[in-house]
Structure 1
Amino acid sequence: MTALALQRPQITLVSLNIEAIALGVYLVRDAFGGVIRYYTSIFHLDTLWYLPDGVALLCLAQFFVHCILRNRSTLALLVFAQIMLSLVLGYFMMGTATAAISAFKMMLPVFVGFCFCDSSLGSYRKLLSIIAVTFYLSVIGVLLTKFYLMPWVGYKYESFGAVREAGRLWWAYGGDDQRLMGFAADNTMAAFFILVSFAITSIRKSTLWCLLYGSLAVYVIRLTTSKTTMIVLVLYLVLLVIVRMLPEKSRFPAIRAIALWSFAAILVPFFMIVVASGTAAVPHSTLFSILDRINNSWQLPFVYMSQLMPIGLVTGCGAGCFNYPQKLFSPLAAYWVPVDNFYIGTYLMFGLPFVAFMVMVFRANFGATDVYKLTLLFVVNLFTITVLNYGPASGLLIIALSFSEVFSRRATSARAADTVPIELPRPIRSLEGLGVDMPGTAARGSR
């Protein structure tokens, strides 16, 4: 049983921490997407935008070698096969090779996140520094765009033959607040990167730092008008203070319990549909956005699916359907609906196999010992209630990272024994600032 100490195998596909490099370049590209799109376009360096995708291809190979071959995870093999089959199914559903290629590119960040399965995000010191800098610069970017009109606002660029807009300045319904996007490509993603980078950085910071910078982050997110993100951050701050007030031995179990309970957020859209479906949405009203999601975003895709591909209600309609590959590159673009929920959008693509996968993810996290992954689980489960989060790529990557425990050697061994993962006696490692003594994870030393 001591083999379950989860030490990283000595032989890896590459000697570098390729998953950390991939996460770092994706994060920098997407958090500053407005700036990078603008300057790479005007200097004719557009191909640099796809550099993170090239690194992600190495992570796909590493996922296959480490999770499937080395960890002997049957689940990893099934997930890999399901994604590949869904790409083929998506090609037949959407009808063009360009849409299929776009769907493949869309799914690459998943394998980057899964490569963190046997390691703790906290052991990547250099990556944590990049994330912290991303938080500070993202806050500064939104504040700057409140006072200055940046050159990338409204800039249009071409990608795979489709014209997109890097960012635009527009006004929130019923008020004078602009939806500001800082250095990112849109306001929702600007808010998301502030939320995620703050949550990760706060783990090793003092409570005073968390309250000061958390309050600033709430104000800045308010400028982006992303209500969901602001609510999640406020709730995170409240729970952070409550957890740190608990006796030391109770703190980590509380964090894990909060992360597990956050899966209940998956049911929120269905509860809202039952309660408020059919309620007329009044334009320019406070509830217009959520009622539009209830009546259209969360239901219409299933209506169209039953017309286009009835079996897809069970099997899914393939990677890329009812997502941006269909919107931009498919003859079925007229049937595209903005699916503003990660779990609904992913079910549409993968069907019942995705439900089975999420059951395994939930089960695996009963034995999770990485406070970073548990924190991200809480954040993404609440954030994705009203956001699909497949674009930009870093959004999907962060979700996959928070799910990656399901492919760990411990989870694989527990499934082989047909038991729920049980915590074994481990060396104790303290997290500075958080004040949580937690069971050690598969650390790989300082990065």
Structure 2
Amino acid sequence: MTILTLNRPRITLISLNIEAIALGVYLVRDAFGGVIRYYTSIYHMDPLWYLPDAVALLCLVQFFVHCILRNRSTLALLVFVQIMLSLVLGYFMLGTMNAAISSFKMMLPVFVGFCFCDSSLGSYRKLLSVIAVTFYLSVIGVFLTKFYAMPWVGYKYESFGAVREAGRLWWAYGGDDQRLMGFAADNTMAAFFILVSFAITSIRKSTSWCIGAGSIAIYVVWLTTSKTTFIVLSFYLLLLLLVRMLPERSRFLAVRGIALWSFAAILIPLFMILLASGTPAVPHSTLYSILDRINNSWQLPFVYMTQLMPIGLVTGCGAGCFNYPQQLFSPLASFWVPVDNFYIGTYLMFGLPFVAFMVMVFRATFGATDVYKLTLLFVVNLFTITVLNYGPASGLLIIALSFSEVFSRRATSARGADAVPIVMRPPMRPLDGFSPDLPAASGSR
């Protein structure tokens, strides 16, 4: 008994580090996806690409043990069951085993993000260092691809029998602006990793660093021609400076308020459809991409759903439908439409249960105390207006991490679902620009 008692804290510590390891390896793999895909392929080391997915399997087990068994969260159990049922439904919808395997692999990062439910991202010191290095290298990578031709640009590789291609270097309309991909697999993801890594790193940095590094990041994102990321990053930097101008005691409440208001962005596509649906999109014009999303990306999937599976408008058509598993591995590939919005794409797969889940996420945000999760909520809610963000895996992982507070012990107890006592978190050391009495997870990882 004594031996078991002495060993128990060590076992808990190892368990709590799995999600940090998974996030770290996913982030490194995806932020440098173009480079890693190229060199693992030419050196015949392709299985290394799937190493993060193997770690994510451990996080799936940890999610079940920690959130469902230990926290006794009914919501966590319902979400787990819903995802499993949707994978089965997706298999029957898409019709091939490769599509089912791809869908399962696609959903694994969700469980990694959810495993952060009872901890603060700020307590993982080594992980924050990896994220900071990712920011600096991602910026450098975009500059390099502007002046040098990289061997991984346009490189084709095979995945589950389907041929895929790293982002090609091509020119945007009307000028010489190149869509630069840096070390990532395409320009949008290069910009996304700059946005996310800057947002996370900026929380503990001085205001002068934020202004300097943020200005460089905005310019580099402009080079990638990702308009969505450019707008979100510029808006984030502006709000960051405004929040730090507030009295110290008001800053955290302002951050949480901004995160809560960012959920209004979910309704923006609906208003755009009501306002501009049917307006013809003129190729090579400034508004072409957004009008194409309004007329096709956000509406056509529902038209096809009524033809393929009308009940799917309520239940969803299963994990992987109207996503890359359908595009690459299904006989229904001709019905595939690039759904450039996370919430629309996820509703198509999971239906009304996803709406109920998002209501609970919104409710949990009122009690959230982690400035990192609140910051990421704002970033992903705005970024995903025009981006599905299921690929690469780190995109979905970051979204799940920002939602993870809904499974915390505090949120579970607030819903009255169990009698697990709330463990009060000791104060963290002061963040630059935030109140020193913000609660956070104890210990560094």
TM-score range, shorter chain: over 0.9
2:3 alignment partner in structure 1: none
Q: Give the C-alpha shift of residue 248 in structure 1.
A: 0.6
CA contact (8 A) 2:262 2:377 kept: yes
1:4 alignment partner in structure 2: none
Q: Deviations over 1:322-356 (max 9, x none)?
A: 00000000000000000000000000000000000
Paired residue total: 435
CA contact (8 A) 1:13 1:65 kept: no
Q: Give the C-alpha shift of residue 374 in structure 1.
A: 0.2
Q: Deviations over 1:301-332 (max 9, x none)?
A: 00000000000000000000000000000000
- Distance in 1 (CA, whole Å) between partners of 2:112 and 2:424 is 30
1:431 alignment partner in structure 2: 430
Question: What is the SS of the residue equivalent to 1:222?
Answer: helix
Letter in 1 for 2:399: I
Letter in 1 for 2:430: L
1:133 alignment partner in structure 2: 133
1:446 alignment partner in structure 2: 444
Letter in 2 for 1:129: S
CA contact (8 A) 1:377 1:403 kept: yes
1:392 alignment partner in structure 2: 392
CA contact (8 A) 2:293 2:340 kept: yes
- Distance in 2 (CA, whole Å) between partners of 1:85 and 1:283 is 41
CA contact (8 A) 2:103 2:320 kept: yes
Q: Deviations over 1:198-228 (max 9, x none)?
A: 0000000000100000000000000000000
1:17 alignment partner in structure 2: 17
Letter in 1 for 2:305: M
Letter in 2 for 1:442: A
2:257 alignment partner in structure 1: 257
Letter in 2 for 1:213: A
Change (3 A) 1:417 1:83: closer
2:286 alignment partner in structure 1: 286
2:4 alignment partner in structure 1: none
- Distance in 1 (CA, whole Å) between partners of 2:359 and 2:191 is 29
Indicate yes or no: 2:169 matched with 1:176: no
Q: Give the C-alpha shift of residue 440 in structure 1.
A: 1.0
CA contact (8 A) 1:319 1:349 kept: yes
2:319 alignment partner in structure 1: 319
Change (3 A) 1:383 1:9: farther
- Distance in 2 (CA, whole Å) between partners of 1:439 and 1:28 is 30
1:3 alignment partner in structure 2: none
Q: Which runs of 5+ in 1 are unaligned?
A: 1-7
CA contact (8 A) 2:281 2:291 kept: yes
- Distance in 1 (CA, whole Å) between partners of 2:349 and 2:112 is 20
Question: What is the SS of the residue equivalent to 2:365?
Answer: helix
Change (3 A) 1:16 1:404: closer
Q: Give the C-alpha shift of residue 174 in structure 1.
A: 1.9
CA contact (8 A) 1:114 1:403 kept: yes
Question: What is the SS of the residue equivalent to 1:179?
Answer: coil
Q: Deviations over 1:100-150 (max 9, x none)?
A: 000000000000000000000000000000000000000000000000010
CA contact (8 A) 1:113 1:399 kept: yes
- Distance in 2 (CA, whole Å) between partners of 1:310 and 1:322 is 14
- Distance in 1 (CA, whole Å) between partners of 2:156 and 2:214 is 33
Indicate yes or no: 2:110 matched with 1:110: yes
2:247 alignment partner in structure 1: 247
CA contact (8 A) 2:252 2:434 kept: no
Alignment of 1:143-162 (within 5 A): 143-162=143-162
In the TM superposition, structure 1's runs of 4+ consecutive aligned residues that sit over 6 Å from their partners are 423-426
- Distance in 2 (CA, whole Å) between partners of 1:340 and 1:9 is 44
Alignment of 1:26-425 (within 5 A): 26-416=26-416
Q: Give the C-alpha shift of residue 10 in structure 1.
A: 7.9
CA contact (8 A) 1:248 1:437 kept: no
- Distance in 1 (CA, whole Å) between partners of 2:79 and 2:437 is 30
Q: Which runs of 5+ in 2 are unaligned?
A: 1-7
CA contact (8 A) 1:156 1:163 kept: yes
The percent of aligned pairs where both chains have the same amino acid is 86
Letter in 1 for 2:127: L
- Distance in 2 (CA, whole Å) between partners of 1:143 and 1:213 is 14
CA contact (8 A) 1:12 1:66 kept: no
Q: Give the C-alpha shift of residue 85 in structure 1.
A: 0.0
Change (3 A) 1:441 1:278: same
Question: What is the SS of the residue equivalent to 1:164?
Answer: strand
CA contact (8 A) 1:154 1:168 kept: yes
CA contact (8 A) 1:430 1:436 kept: no
- Distance in 2 (CA, whole Å) between partners of 1:370 and 1:56 is 23
Question: What is the SS of the residue equivalent to 1:231?
Answer: helix
CA contact (8 A) 1:125 1:446 kept: yes
Question: What is the SS of the residue equivalent to 1:436?
Answer: coil
Q: Give the C-alpha shift of residue 241 in structure 1.
A: 0.6
Change (3 A) 1:35 1:432: same
CA contact (8 A) 1:252 1:437 kept: no
Change (3 A) 1:425 1:125: closer
Q: Deviations over 1:21-65 (max 9, x none)?
A: 000000000000000000000000000000000000000000000
CA contact (8 A) 1:62 1:115 kept: yes
- Distance in 2 (CA, whole Å) between partners of 1:438 and 1:278 is 52
- Distance in 1 (CA, whole Å) between partners of 2:350 and 2:149 is 41
CA contact (8 A) 1:249 1:437 kept: no
1:5 alignment partner in structure 2: none
Normalising by the residue count of structure 2, what TM-score does the alignment of the two structures yield?
0.95
Letter in 2 for 1:381: N
CA contact (8 A) 1:323 1:345 kept: yes
Question: What is the SS of the residue equivalent to 1:340?
Answer: coil
Q: Give the C-alpha shift of residue 429 in structure 1.
A: 3.0
- Distance in 2 (CA, whole Å) between partners of 1:440 and 1:398 is 21
Question: What is the SS of the residue equivalent to 1:116?
Answer: coil
Q: CA RMSD in A?
A: 1.6
- Distance in 2 (CA, whole Å) between partners of 1:260 and 1:438 is 21
CA contact (8 A) 1:155 1:166 kept: yes
- Distance in 1 (CA, whole Å) between partners of 2:417 and 2:139 is 47
Q: Give the C-alpha shift of residue 441 in structure 1.
A: 2.1
